[in-house]
Amino acid sequence: MKSNIPSKEFIKKQYEAYADYFNEIMANVISILRSKVILQAQPTYKSRVKSFSSYYKKILRLKPEEASQSDSLICLTDMMGIRMICAFLEDINLGLDQIKKIFEIKEVEVKGAEKKFSEFGYESVHVLIRIPDECKPEFKGKYKSLKPLPDEVVCEIQIRTILQDAWAEVEHELIYKTEFNPFDIPLRRKLASLNASLTLADITFQEIRDYQNKLQKEIEDRRQSFYSLADNLLNEKPKKAEKKENVNRITPFVQGTIDDMLLQAIHAHNEGNLEEAVDVYSKILEAISPDEKNVIAVIRKHRGMAYFSMNKFGDALEDFKISIEKDPKAFRTYYYAGIVYSIQKEYEKAIDCFNKSLEINKFQAHTYFRRAKDYYELKEYEKSMNDLNSALNLGMDEQECKPLQEKLVKKFGLNM
């Protein structure tokens, strides 16, 4: 008859025999996560096999009878733990949604959600996944002495932000590892204050990221509008900038800052309110110190693009020149200046700008394409063909290149 008292040494030997097996499973799961979870800022991953001390305490609490009678490994849901550590709060839900599509989910729990604000726990999302068969090593070689695990064995994935993970590490050392739960009110307040500060920091980081994303979307829309207008002008089809109706456009969320004014100006620019955009850009330039070269370079570049959209090419070129003076490494500004010179039929000056842009960044399909067109105007057909091929190799749209390509083929007397 078996004793009702479990043998700690037997259970320890049995549990630790699976350590390498568990680690290999987690490495395989992390490999899948790395390849299939795609976020704007890619997560980092940690993994751990639950310590025997924690494992033993838990089975005595949850499965005492099984511990005293079973000859097989007693399985818990958190023997294998992976942490997916994200940069921003929004990444938690985005990551969770992708994990749900990759694995069979057994359970999702938000830990800490039940705590009051005055308490010092911190939230994280815990996901239990069924371990895919391809992640399980075969029970042979160094694992041949192990008994196969039940199919229902799971792996836990904890999804946290960087700050949530930092809190969890410190909380584990201060409280759970020492079985310490402070009764002293001032000490509890300090811990609650730290928790609140970290939570606020996470929220603030997310707000800044949201703001950056909005600003980047506006800048990209404005850049594409600039390219479209440049195409029309270079093809001798002048087109006045149209006011666009777009109810989804964002509006500034912070009042009075330089970033806010820049977003307001770009928003007006994208909406076709060019005079308003120029006015706001000008106010920013009046408000900043002459020593802030990088800021001046950015604002001059944006205002130059607004002037360009108004067909004020002289004003646009002046802003682009000053922007380049303040930031000589700004390859896009050289490109914009080159387009203005091309429109003014000053092809040699345009090519000089395109040369400087490509010296800084040689992987610019549009810049090769524009330089190819200007070389064609200067009757330097071989250089034009070389640049056109470079543009195509870098992914330039074939249909956009076709008119110039056909003209060059005729000049060389070749058949398409």
Cβ within 8 Å of residue 335, ≥6 positions away = 353, 354, 357, 364, 366, 367, 370
pLDDT at 1: 46
Is 231's pLDDT higher than 90?
no
Average pLDDT on 205-232 reads 74
The pLDDT tens digits of the residues spanning 54-82 come to 899 898 888 887 776 777 888 999 999 99
What's the pTM value of the predicted model, to 2 decimals?
0.58
Cβ within 8 Å of residue 216, ≥6 positions away = none
pLDDT at 182: 55
CA 333 to chain centre: 25
pLDDT at 117: 43
Average pLDDT on 346-358 reads 96
pLDDT at 175: 63
Alpha carbons 22 and 28: distance in angstroms, whole number: 10
Is 235's pLDDT higher than 80?
no
β-partners of residue 107 are 128
pLDDT at 347: 96
Give the CA distances from residue 323 to residues 271, 289, 293, 302, 348, in Å, rounded to whole numbers and listed in that order.
24, 15, 9, 9, 21
Q: pLDDT: is 293 or 118 the higher one?
A: 293
Give the CA distances from residue 30 to residues 33, 138, 166, 214, in Å, rounded to whole numbers and listed in that order.
5, 18, 20, 32
The pLDDT tens digits of the residues spanning 330-340 come to 999 999 999 99
pLDDT at 251: 38
- Conformation bin of residue 380: beta by default, left when phi > 0, alpha when psi is -120 to 50: beta
Is 247's pLDDT higher than 50?
no
Alpha carbons 164 and 169: distance in angstroms, whole number: 9
Say if residues 286 and 295 touch (Cβ distance below 8 Å): no
Low-confidence winner among 68-82, 155-169, 249-263 (lowest mean pLDDT): 249-263
What's the mean per-residue pLDDT of the chain? 84
Low-confidence winner among 14-23, 96-105, 403-412 (lowest mean pLDDT): 403-412
Alpha carbons 334 and 327: distance in angstroms, whole number: 10
Average pLDDT on 227-254 reads 51
pLDDT at 194: 75
The pLDDT tens digits of the residues spanning 131-146 come to 999 999 999 899 999 9
Is 240's pLDDT higher than 50?
no
What phi and psi values does residue 128 have, to the nearest 5 degrees? -100, 120
β-partners of residue 161 are 86
